Chain A
């Protein structure tokens, strides 16, 4: 076997201002392998890959490709060194066809026709070789997310990449699509290509990689053979201490129905119907998990229930109907009625980033008469309470005068959680409770959610992380295309079954699973495109 690494990084360092994003990082990736890079948010994974792809220039260190030292100053240099990158957010021209996107920037000459013809041939061949079938003449905007990702891979392969970097590639995929992606990666490996997979999901690392490097706070803490490690060990390497990957909880004892949602419909500003008759019931003392791939109406469901998106249908809270549009349908009214809300996006919704922590601890509750003194706000009281909340929720640093943006993701989330839980709501809506949150904080947040459940509160949990849904939920509803596809008890189902529901496939498909999933997702895309016009 060939001993020359496909990629070798030697002592890469990179600082942004006072932040050391990468510190003396060295790795060797052998050709024909899949190498995982795992680490928490902000550990420096993406920075490292951006250096490899020529987006950033390293302050120090060398990049060797196939035994040759390369000076990668821009993405052109990376491409000609045989490196291709699939970003988390795709870089595709939406109103170009697949074929046009593939040749963009890699045209053979001034005239398009010969390039397009050649690309068509290459694409056909690649599709067969790697199970990368995409209709070359379809507009990218009409493709499902999974297919758009394939176009990104095709683009890289068309540019003759031997080394493919994928940054968090499964974040937007249904489980079946993710499985298929791994098959594609498998084929690539079999053909001798080298794959670098950046992810924060331990399961994916264990499933597909040959070797894995762990990053923590800009440093490479370990590189191990996947076969010789375990998820527990990797988690420990990521966090620097032992972590509990399972949530300790007893069986739920659901009580009366607190929140009753019937036939909820919502149309967004672009005229696309995002909720198509959602009905669900939420009982006291249970966690109802809403599983689904992002963009299937979960965000809108939270917005409607949280009071800041109009809808039709009925929602009753403890028997009393809630207004769904017009006066009384706003966040304040919902809070007053007893619905707390930890929004999906804490930076855009849950917090005002330039506000201090103490200002944020009353955000949404700032009209409470308790926080007023005459015409002014009682800032002394708010600060005092903030200090107390921050201590009890272990927000670090426990300094209420720091701006929210100066806290890490996990600590920001704890501020939001403290604010919402401390108001003792009957119903708590929680969206993506641990997105961008470090593993250490995940443990804490999960425990708080279960503690709240055990106090007899009803919790609606929306998460795109199936693992999280499984470990927290007492009941799971799957959302696809603005509808609830079905409800399952976590002990009576598995990832495969939920994965199919998440793609809108309700019956066991006869042929290949991925074909049924693709067909269903493509139909959804077509429906949306139609409404858009």
Chain B
């Protein structure tokens, strides 16, 4: 069957979707009596025009890359993992345990061990829903979302009853030892006369996220396992014919997915807070769904989509800070972007496809 060119599918569709979301957002801002142009300027200023703004934008981007890849890998196996949130929370527990109880000589060693711990904890949290899906047919959407609640409750219990320092009033662990503190962008790039990224939370984990994108591409398109995951995602009956075990692929894909979600905690817990707090994930697990959808489950797409949502998060925070536009409206704008790029994808795609076919027929 003929389709529109790949570049239109990958670039034009999301761009138009974002544009529509922006127009609608502008109308909403107009409706509450603010200037959409001013608001947009503020967002760009706050998120992209200063290095500290970038520091925040890239910090959020790091989160969304991990959770976006988490959802994307499951998508390739035709599973909808909406448990990234819970998996990231439990991943945070792994990070905290590693940082608190292992005496590390240097942050680089700490990062490697904490990465393994985060991935292992996140994967473990995805393992049970995966097994239930593979062996019992319990739908992964239902089980993973329930596991989000269980994760939140578990974390609450652990923080309040087990890891809270004696006498502290807050449900959080003690601060991590200094040897586990990750270099921030400020540490890396700022110098005497050039105070870059001042006070912003972006840290070395960002590069880990970029590396994860590259590894993801190799895994999915260049390895035997990726070949099998995609094959299974396209047709389970064909996979069985080829001797690919549905149970194995379901479990392995979910372990990778959960591991990626868990690794998000490196950024929030080890890189930024330097202790484990309740709700460190702040809904990034769910944003990952939109990121994966918008990024077409491709690492380049996921990276770009994560960047967009990083911008929206940081720009939104600036808006709330400097204007009377309420915080809730920022959520509305983010929701509109998700709505248009994710749920209403076909609304843009179908007419565009028709347009391309029509012009092609005329020219042929």
Question: How close is A319's CB to chain B, nearest CB, in angstroms?
Answer: 23
Task: Report which of B218, B222, B238 forms a contact with A352, defined as CB distance below 8 A.
Answer: B238
> Is residue B136 contacting chain A, with contact meaning CB distance below 8 A?
no
A341 contacts B by Cβ under 8 Å: yes
Whether a CB of chain B sits under 8 angstroms from the CB of A219 is no
* Bound CA span A351–B231, Å: 9
| 0/1 string, A335-354, CB within 8 A of B gives 1 | 10000010101001111111
Please encode chain B, from 204 to 242, with 1 for each CB lying within 8 Å of some chain A CB and 0 for all others: 000000000000001000111001101100110110111
- In the complex, residue of chain B having the shortest beta-carbon distance to the beta carbon of A405: B1
| Cross-chain contact A350 with B238 (CB below 8 angstroms) | yes
Docked CA distance A372–B223 (Å): 8
Q: What are 28 contact pairs spanning A and B, CB under 8 A? A: A17-B2, A18-B2, A18-B357, A18-B364, A19-B1, A19-B2, A307-B243, A308-B243, A330-B245, A331-B243, A332-B242, A332-B243, A345-B237, A348-B235, A349-B237, A349-B238, A349-B240, A351-B238, A352-B231, A352-B238, A355-B230, A355-B234, A359-B227, A363-B231, A363-B242, A364-B243, A377-B227, A379-B222
Q: Is A145 interfacial (CB-CB < 8 Å)?
A: no
CA of A404 to CA of B231, assembled, Å: 13
Contact between B235 and A333 (Cβ–Cβ < 8 Å)? no
**A→B interface (CB under 8 Å):** 17-19, 306-308, 330-335, 341, 343, 345, 348-355, 359, 363-364, 366-367, 372, 375-377, 379, 405-406
Q: In the complex, are the beta carbons of A308 and B240 less than 8 A apart?
A: yes
**Pairwise interchain contact A17-B357, C-beta atoms closer than 8 A:** yes
Contacts of A341 in B (CB 8 A): 241
A377–B228 Cα distance when bound, in Å, is 12
Docked Cα-Cα span, A321 to B244, in Å, equals 22
Smallest beta-carbon distance B251→chain A, Å: 16
Interface string of B122-135 (1 = CB under 8 A from A): 00000000000000
Q: Which of B1, B227, B357 contacts A366 (CB 8 A)?
A: B227
The 8 closest A-B pairs by CB, nearest first: A331-B243, A332-B243, A364-B242, A349-B241, A330-B243, A308-B240, A376-B222, A18-B2
Chain B residues with Cβ below 8 Å from A363 are 231, 238, 242
Residue numbers in B under 8 Å from A333 (CB-CB)? 243
Q: Which residues on the B side are within 8 Å of A345 (C-beta)?
A: 237
Assembled-state Cα–Cα distance A201/B237 (Å)? 29
Contact present for A406 and B1 (CB under 8 Å)? yes
Q: How far is the CA of A77 from the CA of B224 in the complex (A)?
A: 54
Distance from B364 Cβ to chain A, minimum over Cβ atoms (Å): 8
For the complex, give the distance between the alpha carbons of A515 and B93 in Å: 73
Q: B245 to chain A: which residues have CB within 8 Å?
A: 330
Alpha-carbon separation in the docked complex, A405 to B1 (Å): 8
Residues of A within 8 A of B243 (CB): 307-308, 330-335, 364
Name B19-54 residues within 8 Å CB distance of A: none
- B234 CB contact (under 8 Å) in A335, A350, A352, A366: A352
- Encode contact with A along B335-364: 1 for CB under 8 Å, 0 otherwise: 000000000000000000000010011001
Q: Are B241 and A364 in touch, CB under 8 angstroms?
A: yes
Contact A350–B241 (Cβ < 8 Å) = yes
- Residues in B with CB closer than 8 Å to A343 are 241
Pick the residue among B224, B235, B364 that contacts A353 (CB under 8 A). B235
A-B contact sample (18 more), CB < 8 A, given A363-B242, A405-B1: A17-B2, A17-B357, A18-B2, A18-B360, A308-B240, A331-B243, A333-B243, A341-B241, A349-B237, A349-B238, A350-B238, A352-B234, A352-B238, A366-B224, A366-B227, A366-B242, A379-B222, A406-B1
Query: What is the CB-to-nearest-CB distance from A343 to chain B, in angstroms, rounded to a whole number?
Result: 6
Q: How far is it, in angstroms, between the C-alpha of A372 and the C-alpha of B227 when the chains are bound?
A: 12
CB distance from A62 to the nearest CB of B (A): 24
Instruction: For residue B227, give the distance in angstroms from its CB to the closest CB of chain A.
Output: 6
Contact of B1 among A17, A355, A376 (CB under 8 A): A17
Contact: B238 with A376, CB < 8 Å?
no
Bound CA span A419–B242, Å: 12
Nearest residue in A to B361 (C-beta to C-beta)? A18
B9 to chain A, nearest CB (A): 13
Interchain nearest-CB distance for A400 vs B (Å): 15
Could you say which residues of chain A place their CB within 8 Å of the CB of B227?
Answer: 359, 366, 377
The answer for the CA separation of A379 and B223 in the assembled complex, in Å, is 10
Q: Which residues of B contact A334 (CB under 8 A)?
A: 243
